[in-house]
Amino acid sequence: LTSAFGVAAARVMTCDPSVASGALSVIEEGVVVVDAGRIAYVGPRAGAPEGVSIEEFGERVVTPGLVDAHTHACWVGSRHAEYAARMKGDGYQAIARAGGGILATHRAVAAASEECLVQALVARLRRMASLGVTTVEVKSGYGLAAAHERKQLAAMARARDAPGVPAIVATLLALHALPPGVTDRAAFVARVAGAFVPSVAAEGLARFVDAYVDEDAFSVAEARAVAEAARASGLGVRLHVDQFADVQGAELAASLDAASADHLEHVSASGIAALARAQVVAVLLPVASFTLGQPPPPVAALREAGVRLAIASDSNPGTAPTESLTLAMALAVRLYALSPDEALLGVTRHASAALELRDRGVLRVGARADLVVWDLPHEHAIVQPWGVAKTLSVRVEGREIFRAAGS
């Protein structure tokens, strides 16, 4: 254990039922020892290996690094005018028809260089890291046309090498809106499924394919064609479903064995049953429904059915104008009536499951040493201080990607 080091605190939230009891499996007066980017020990101080330098954080809490399983963080431009219109009462569809929404950001992304996208993304990811995020899913979907979608994915690949950023999971949001000028929907969908998805997979530019399945978006049949192409190319599937209407998107996600079904404000009882049977993770996006003034998804029914609940920021320039996963957690508790325990599992173990990542979201021997030391006395306090960063130290594979000034 020559390169090993440790952190000690009054509470170590492991999220690993094999380590300690309780919903979050908290070890009191715990130590986490890291060696070569992996967790080498997690447990009480008394059992910690000897000869390891341990940093003492006292009456604080250590958690797994947070996982933001749904973001659109690769964008440039500003949609402040549209936000003002929305607050005056214009609806999502009215804004979209007036050239706002996705198409507004599409124009900015299409005009931007790859370098410009990298810079905006890296700056945004660093701010996310300061809030405790160590893994972030980032979707394309503003490029719309193949060349610009590829530019977004290339920017994500380059952002990975920048210092101070969380790990990135890239998703090709293959069906988000029709590119301007495209009138033949069927030909567009066929081109995406038949050519673009396989080429993105072959180049290793994305791990998942996503589609926006809703009224005024893409149909179940269109999304199925693209998702099946993703499966055939070895990529995973995640879907935006049932945000504005029940179009049986959840049933589609279940039939495709998707990793996640996201939004779900209008999911039906049969959709919930299908998600439970197929063990698809529900990704809840409370910032978006808050911005849009929508009622919450049927959280009690999802919980009752045994569907795992993840929470994500949905970070995007229109309907979720935030970079803060902790804000999404606070809203999940306040608006969706999740317990603090559920909110915490929703950004750790369940969020990792939503990304099909088995090596993080828990503090256990052998897992990646992705962890956060919080300047808070208890894990339940993480859902409370809205809009402020309360992290002291954030580590990805043991490397510190953020440290609070003066700590």
Distance, CA of 278 to CA of 315 (rounded, Å): 27
Q: What is the DSSP string of 143-204?
A: S-SHHHHHHHHHHHHHHTTSTT--EEEEEEEEESSPPTT---HHHHHHHIIIIIHHHHHHTT
Nearer to Zn ion, 14 or 135 (CB): 135
Nearest to Zn ion by Cβ — which residue? Answer: 314
Cα separation of the two ends of the chain: 26
- Rounded to the nearest whole angstrom, what is the least distance from the CB of residue 358 to Zn ion in the complex? 24
Q: What is the dihedral of CA 64, 69, 74, 80, to 10 degrees?
A: -100
Binding flags for Zn ion, 313-352, as an x/- string (CB under 5 A): -x--------------------------------------
β pairing state of 5-13 and 53-56: parallel
Q: Does residue 286 contact residue 332 with C-beta atoms inside 8 Å?
A: yes
Q: Which two tokens stand for residue 315?
A: 């970070």
Nearer to Zn ion, 214 or 314 (CB): 314
- Rounded to the nearest whole angstrom, what is the least distance from the CB of residue 72 to Zn ion in the complex? 6
Strands, E, within 252-386: which ranges? 260-263, 281-284, 309-311, 371-374
- Rounded to the nearest whole angstrom, what is the least distance from the CB of residue 228 to Zn ion in the complex? 21
β pairing state of 53-56 and 309-311: unpaired
Nearer to Zn ion, 265 or 314 (CB): 314
Nearer to Zn ion, 60 or 79 (CB): 79
Q: Which are the contacts of 322, defined by CB distance < 8 A and separation ≥ 6?
A: 287, 313, 315, 328
- Rounded to the nearest whole angstrom, what is the least distance from the CB of residue 344 to Zn ion in the complex? 22
For the segment 267-306, give every residue that binds Zn ion (CB under 5 A).
none
Laid out side by side, the sheet with 309-311 consists of: 66-68, 133-139, 167-175, 208-213, 236-241, 260-263, 281-284, 309-311
Which of 98-106, 190-198, 291-299, 307-315 is the region at the interface with Zn ion (rule: CB under 5 A)? 307-315
Nearer to Zn ion, 68 or 314 (CB): 314
- Rounded to the nearest whole angstrom, what is the least distance from the CB of residue 29 to Zn ion in the complex? 40
Which of 11-19, 31-39, 123-131, 310-318 is the region at the interface with Zn ion (rule: CB under 5 A)? 310-318
- Rounded to the nearest whole angstrom, what is the least distance from the CB of residue 314 to Zn ion in the complex? 5
Nearer to Zn ion, 213 or 383 (CB): 213
For the segment 147-166, give every residue that binds Zn ion (CB under 5 A).
none
Amino acid at 393: S
For the segment 19-58, give every residue that binds Zn ion (CB under 5 A).
none
Nearer to Zn ion, 319 or 393 (CB): 319
Which of 32-40, 179-187, 308-316, 325-333 is the region at the interface with Zn ion (rule: CB under 5 A)? 308-316
Binding site for Zn ion (CB under 5 A): 314
